[in-house]
Structure 1
Amino acid sequence: MKQFFPFFICILFSSCQYFEKQVPSEKELLQKELKSINWKEVDEYPSVPECDKITDKAVRQQCFFEVMSNLIEEKLNVDTLSILYPELDTIEVKVTVFPNATMKFEPQFRKDSVAYDTIKIDSILHARLVDFPKINPAIKRGVPVKTQFILPVILKAKDKK
C-alpha cells in the first residue's frame, strides 16, 4: 500500500495536464464578439410615444418614420418655403437621433440644386424644426446609440387667395 500511494499521486498530478483546456485571451474573445456584431442594424429603432405600444419591429419603425415625416411636414407647411420655391415639392431631411434623445436636422440637396438658395432653405429648416416631442433613441445591445436616416418631406403648395 505504501508503494501504491506515491504512484497514485504521480499519476494524479501528471494526468491533470490532460484536463487543462486552452482558455482564449481577453483580446481574442473581444475581437470574436466584435466581429459577430452587425453594426449596420440596431436592436430597437428610435421611437415616439405614439409608436411605443407596437411590438413588431418593422411596423414600429414604419410608425416612427411616418410620425416624424408628418411632424416635419406640419412644421414646414406653416412657412413660406413652398411660396418662395414653388418648384421645390420634396426635401430630403437627414435626421440624427443622438443617445441623449436630442435630434439634429440637415437638409440634403441634390448636386444640381442651383435653382434655389440652399443657405436660405437651411436657415428656414433650422428655425422651424424645433420643439419636437420626446424621442426614445435607438438601442443596440441595451445601450442607447446614435442613428441617422433620411426622410423625404413633401411640401404642400399653399392656396393663393
Structure 2
Amino acid sequence: MKRIVVLLAFALTSCSYFEKQVPNEQELLQKELKAINWNQVDEYPSIAECEKLTDATQRKQCFFEFLSSTIQQKLDTDTLSVLYPELDTIEVKITVNPDATLVFEPQFPQDSTAYDKKKIDSILRVRLTDLPKINPAIKRGIPVKTQFILPVIIRGE
C-alpha cells in the first residue's frame, strides 16, 4: 500500500517536470504567416487537358500555351486586325478568380490614345466568353485569385 501511495505522490509531483512552455497562439500565427511566400502559388491555374501532366512546370506551360492559342484563335475571326492594322500584339491582363471565373482586361501603354480602348475591351469580352473550364490556382490547398499578363498576337489578313 505504501508503494502505491509513494508512486501516486511521485506521479503527481513529477508532472511539473514535463511541463513545457506553450507558445502563444498569435506568435505561432505570425511565424507561420511570415514563412509563407505570398507571391507564389502551389499550383497554377489549369485546364483538364493539362491536369494529366505530373510536372508542375509542364502543367504551367501547357496552360499558358492553351490560353494563348485559344485567345488568338478567337480573335483571328474578328475585326481587330482590320480596325487597327498597326496593332500586331495586345497584352491582356487575365484574372482567374477562386470560383473559376475569368476576367480579361486589355493593357495599353500609358500614353496610348491611338486605340479605342472601350471598343477593344468590348470585342475581347464578346469573343472570350465560351472558354473551357479553368481550375483556379491553389495555395495551401485553397483556391486563390491569380493575375497575369499574356501577350496575344493579332494576326492580320
One-letter identity of the residue aligned with 1:156: R
User: Which segments of 5 or more consecutive residues in structure 1 lack a partner in the other structure?
Assistant: none
Distance 1:118 1:133 in 2: 26
Q: 1:16 to 1:133 in 2, by over 3 A?
A: same
Distance 2:5 2:68 in 1: 81
User: Which segments of 5 or more consecutive residues in structure 2 lack a partner in the other structure?
Assistant: none
Normalised by the length of structure 2, the TM-score is: 0.90
Normalised by the length of structure 1, the TM-score is: 0.88
The percent of aligned pairs where both chains have the same amino acid is: 66
Structure 1 counterpart of 2:125: 126
Q: Does 1:35 align with 2:34?
A: yes
Distance 1:136 1:5 in 2: 63
1:4-48 CA-partner distances (Å, limit 9, x unpaired) = 999987776555433211001221111111111111111111101
Aligned-pair Cα RMSD in Å: 2.1
Aligned residue for 1:58, secondary structure, equals: helix
1:51-104 CA-partner distances (Å, limit 9, x unpaired) = 111111111101100100011111111100011001111000011111111111
Q: How does 1:45-64 map to 2 (within 5 A)?
A: 45-64=44-63
Which portions of structure 1, spanning 4 or more consecutive aligned residues, are displaced by more than 3 angstroms? 4-18
Q: How does 1:63-102 map to 2 (within 5 A)?
A: 63-102=62-101
Q: CA deviation at 1:115?
A: 1.5
Aligned residue for 1:54, secondary structure, equals: coil
Q: CA deviation at 1:153?
A: 0.1
Q: Aligned pairs, how many? A: 157
1:106-140 CA-partner distances (Å, limit 9, x unpaired) = 01111121122112111111111111001111111
Distance 1:50 1:7 in 2: 70
